[in-house]
Amino acid sequence: MFHHTQLLACVITDERHENTYVSLYCVCLCVELCPLDGPFAVVRTDPAPGFQALVNDELLRRHKITIKVGRVKNKSKNPVADNATQELEDEILRQDPNTRFISPLSLTLSIARLNSRIRNRVLSAREMWTQHDQFSNNQIPLTDQSLIQRQYEFRKLQRNF
């Protein structure tokens, strides 16, 4: 499976499932990921009660977003999200080691830094998503198929070492 691993996040002040704003936050974050007339965007989450309550959320469904909750009994419920969360926490602490409160601005800046970081495929998540060089804004001739092939070759090399 191929992932751009484009991070999106927002500060949610109240995670109770009765809070309709949680699904609104999901829509605001994910609406750009959904094709106007196509398949649903799938958002993978951990099995927190607030996310479980969103599985059949009507507002999300209307906007072609579906929640896929991680496996409850598996210790690593969602390893991609777990790694991204850890990386985000590290980036926030790098930005301000004494932080006790994450403001929407500090979260946004940390996310932007992570999405702009050059990864093992010699591109950032931002460049893979936009298909434009993040420094010159020149178009990068990319296809998902070429990125999938690069990822496959990289993993094959890793297994040989």
Q: Using one digit for the tens of pLDDT, what is the confidence trace for 74-93?
A: 666 667 777 888 999 999 99
Could you read off the pLDDT of 25-84 as tens digits, one per residue?
777 777 777 777 788 888 877 777 777 888 888 888 888 888 888 776 666 666 777 788
Three-state SS string across 100-141, please? CCCCHHHHHHHHHHHHHCECCCCCEHHHHHHCECCCCCCECC
| Residues 6+ positions from 57 with CB-CB distance below 8 Å | 23, 26, 67
Query: Domain segments of the chain: what residues?
Result: 1-160
- 46, 70 in Cβ contact below 8 A? yes
pTM to 2 decimal places: 0.70
Out of 3.30.420.10, 3.30.559.10, 3.40.50.2300, 3.30.565.10, the CATH code matching 1-160 is 3.30.420.10
